[in-house]
Amino acid sequence: MNDTSNTHSKVIGYLLWIFGFIGAHRFYYGRQITGVIWFFTLGLFFIGWIVDLFLIPGMDRDADRRYQAGDTDYSVAWLLLTFLGLFGAHRFYMGKWITGLLYLCTGGLFLIGLLYDFLTLNEQVDSLNRGDAH
């Protein structure tokens, strides 16, 4: 993989850090386990959330090395998931029309699908960018 690819954005990371006490920025950078921990502990009782302010550049570099750049933009997908996920906007963006319609009609499959996407969105986009099957 090309080390100069920029799959994730520090600006988006810092914007999501504002909601970091629920793990948003950690999910964005592909750190699902600590994202779940942050979600249930309010950013490790807000202390981890403050520390993360200084860790975001490193998380961004790691995500850029880990995930494949391509036609589907990670930041766009994450913004759509974060703000319009209940309506399936991120799924429509990724070309997943059937599940996009399901999300639209069911409120993100009754929030369970939304949670699933918070845990797997980076891998979904990575798979699309690598040309793997939907």
| Together in a domain, 62 and 99 | no
Instruction: Tell me which residue range forms the domain holding 128.
Output: 70-134
Backbone angles phi, psi at 127, to 5 degrees: -60, -45
How many domains in the chain?
2
pTM of the model: 0.89
| Together in a domain, 19 and 53 | yes
d(CA 102, CA 58): 36
Cβ proximity of 129 and 66 under 8 Å = no
| Together in a domain, 7 and 44 | yes
Structure tokens at 106: 């069911």
Boundary of a domain, candidates 66, 88, 123: 66
| Together in a domain, 87 and 54 | no
Would you put residue 59 in left (φ > 0), alpha (ψ -120 to 50) or beta? alpha
Q: For position 134, what pLDDT does the model report? A: 52
Boundary of a domain, candidates 23, 38, 66: 66
pLDDT in tens, the chain (134 residues): 444 589 999 999 999 999 877 899 999 999 999 999 999 999 999 999 999 999 999 999 999 999 999 999 999 999 999 999 999 999 999 999 999 999 999 999 999 999 999 999 999 999 999 998 65
Query: For residue 70, which amino acid is it?
Result: G
